[in-house]
Structure 1
Amino acid sequence: MECRVKRFGVLTSGGDAPGLNAAIRALCRTAKCKYGMEAVGIFNGYRGLINGDMRILSEPDISGLIAQGGTILGTSREKPFKNPTVNEATGLLPVEAIKENYKKWNLDALVCIGGNGTNTTASLLFQSGLNVIGLPKTIDNDIEGSDVTFGFYTALDVATDAVDRIHSTACSHSRIMVVEVMGHKVGWLGLYSGISGGADAVLIPEIPYDINSVVEKIKERRNSGKNFSVIVVAEGAKSKAEALLDKKAFKKARASMHTSIGFRVAKEIEEATGLECRVTVVGYLQRSGTPSSYDRLFSTYIGSAAADFLAEEKFGNLVAVQNGIITAVPLDSVAGKTKGIPLDHPMLKTARDMGICLGE
């Protein structure tokens, strides 16, 4: 069957993540070598699609990208369907401008690489009549429908290394050390780095914490002769009291905090124990730099598969992986959803069985 997709656009949107460039490279190379397609790079996410900021990508553009961090296409958090305003220069609403540029550049399809917000917008564009395919990128590993997202395991390596390194200082100074990792809504990164880094307590959004539980763990360790403890805290961790608040009240409560959650937890521990507590926020290091070998392979795997989706006209789908197999997951089943850690997840059982405190 003849491939009807001759030219497609590709964009990266939302937060950067290791593996973006590897995915772009695999997509463009497979599309060209296997199907003779032409790739158009769209710069700075959906903002570039609105403004027409794009150009054809040639072989030199994608050469050597597999080990490069960030994204050669740039990114933004533009949301064309949210609070749309008419552009004074063109007189068009964002979605109208997108359709105009899609037509102007003779695009047969779009490949949108990103996380929850990106794929939600991709779903809406598909519903608006464009041929769209999504790819799952986020260090949070929270995209519904895919077992894993690229960027997660590189971020996990960085977070685990941070927890490892903090151990030596905690032990040397007999301190309580709090390591804050990313994860606003889900705790995959916190749980996995906490277990792999040998943390004594892990606080994640899925399990509201009682600080007394953490304090008891610290006291238990001290009574057994261990004068230090390492606590991993996901940035979206919340107390049991906060878990009772509605969304608006919780947002207001967090806005009144003058520090991030890691510092609050440290203060709560100090007040309850009288022990010295220090905080390390790993921050953007988790999203930056060279992708791990796993993320290079995974990004290449799904990037190449995206070219097959284009050729097979599997529009309106996310290129997902389930049980190691490429799977087409409808974008409308992904849009607006977040994949949290199930409370019966085996890794939670592993943490509890090993005596790791989860703040329960």
Structure 2
Amino acid sequence: MHRPRISAVALAAAALVAATGAAGPSPKPTPTATPTATPSSTPSASPTQSDGTLQILTYRGYAEYGGTSPRANWAGPFEKETGCRVARLDTVGTPEEMAARLRERSYDVISAGPALAAAMIAAKQVQPIDTAKIEDYDDLAEPLRELMTDPKTDTVHGVPFLWGSHEFLYDSRRVGGGDLAQVLGAARVMLKDSPLTLADAALADDAVERPFELTAAQLDEAAERLAGHDDRTYWTNGLDLVKGFATGSVDYAQATPYYRLLLGKAKIPVKAVKTRRTTGWVDSWMLAANVTDTNCAYRWLSRMTKSGSQRDAAAWLGLAPANPQACKGRAREVCTAYGVTTKSYRLDHIAFAVRPPGDCLPPDGECTEYNAWTERWRELLK
């Protein structure tokens, strides 16, 4: 899933530059700060044997120490307040990069999206979480907590941190909106470069209620809706999305509410297509299976659950916090864009990416596995 780690200032600036035709270099993604207590380039001698250290793998911007901006420092005080030391902090930009890092070495805590989380659970790379050890866990939105809970055993494997949802934006100066089927059939559409975009295509069929649990026939239909447009563009960088609207090169684009907010600030009149449902994802903190002394790991999970940490992260990244109490102050604007306030937390219109239940996958069930999605996506992009 795409996670917008580029600052609002950079994206708005890109939109304004493109809209006015001003010359200048393209803004670069905001670099992730190095922690105040710089993690070592190699793991500690015994990272999980009561030495009070942590080895963390996360996405860029998810654990800021104040080096990029003093406003982005929700992880920095952790070491001082807990006595635990972050011995290694590795950051990546995509789920593929994260999976590659996990093949190279082990970590104590990992922030993962739904596809990678499902793979780690299936491979027993993560251990169940004792939620009684996590402060403010009950403050997290219940629907998000349920996504990381096995309904058969009530086993929890992840602590929700940030979430996002998708919408299809359109340039109201050029087109009049339309329904999802019309949008997906248009030529000047910019789609997110992800196999999970097939779930959004599946929702064009009103009969589909679980877009991440598609049968082979439903997956074929979703792929067919996206086929046959050689001039269609795909994005992985938010700057490309913003520039597409700013230069008038696209009529529609798959995005998140955060980009609608930024484009509006840049005076680019985009609106969201009205849809029955939409898709979304949750990034959760997980505890690696090899951790034997979990004291510092649980302290980290507790800190990432608190409203203050989630407020700062949401405002910095343009994603919604799993803790609705974080929707104050600097995060209020982002929360409002996602339709979230401290008093209202409607999520029923969002189909969140989940791993299909055990009786849905082959050989007993009809759901297609994720590798089938990736193969169909590769075929579309040829």
TM-score greater than 0.5 by the shorter chain? no
Query: Which structure has the highest helix share of the two?
Result: 1
Could you state the TM-score of these two structures normalised by the residue count of structure 2? 0.31
TM-score where L is the length of structure 1: 0.32
Larger-Rg structure = 1
